[in-house]
């Protein structure tokens, strides 16, 4: 099995991406759509949500309820990502120790996490009973 996307740029720094029957615009300047690094942060967070849910179930929390991940990325002097941080808030009343176990399992399950170089694996904070 493989994944495929087609990226088309007629001019400038904006590109249209065709992914199955979906189309997205990513603009490296951030003028016509999210920029490439914002898109990476969104993909990482979006991948981590189901990983957290499964990790929670595997660590005794059947339902995390609402999950909110605020992803932030620090840039180096070359405007490349230097680090990523997730502030994770979940609706379920989860203690810190269980939350840490869920976070660790989530990273084991997250495919985007696996695709990033180790220095960009997200640092995290976790808050249960947040909503």
Parse the chain into domains and list their residue ranges: 1-34, 36-127
pLDDT given at position 89: 96
Residue with tokens 């269980």: 98
Instruction: Residue 100: name the closest of 74, 76, 124 by CA.
Output: 124
**What is the share, in percent, of the chain residues with pLDDT greater than 90?**
96
C-alpha distances out from residue 40 to 56, 72, 83, 125, 129, Å: 24, 11, 12, 19, 28
**What is the C-alpha separation between 62 and 123, in angstroms, rounded?**
24
Q: Work out the angle at residue 73's Cα, subtended by the Cα atoms of residues 80 and 22, and round it to the nearest 5 degrees.
A: 85
> Tell me: the pLDDT tens digits for 42-96?
999 999 999 999 999 999 999 999 999 999 999 999 999 999 999 999 999 999 9
Residue 99 has φ and ψ, to the nearest 5°, of -55, -45
CATH number of 36-127: 3.30.300.20
pLDDT given at position 66: 97
pLDDT given at position 82: 95
């Amino acid at each position: 099995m493989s994944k495929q996307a087609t990226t088309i740029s007629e001019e400038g720094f904006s590109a249209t991406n065709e992914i199955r029957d979906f189309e997205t615009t990513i603009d490296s300047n951030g003028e016509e759509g999210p920029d490439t690094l914002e898109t990476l942060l969104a993909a990482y967070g979006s991948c981590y949500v189901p990983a957290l849910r499964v990790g929670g179930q595997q660590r005794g929390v059947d339902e995390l309820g609402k999950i909110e991940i605020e992803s932030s990325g620090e840039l180096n002097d070359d405007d490349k990502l230097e680090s990523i941080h997730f502030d994770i808030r979940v609706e379920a009343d989860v203690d810190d120790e269980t939350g840490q176990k869920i976070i660790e399992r989530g990273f084991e399950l997250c495919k985007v996490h696996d695709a990033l170089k180790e220095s960009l694996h997200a640092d995290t904070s976790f808050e249960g009973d947040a909503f």
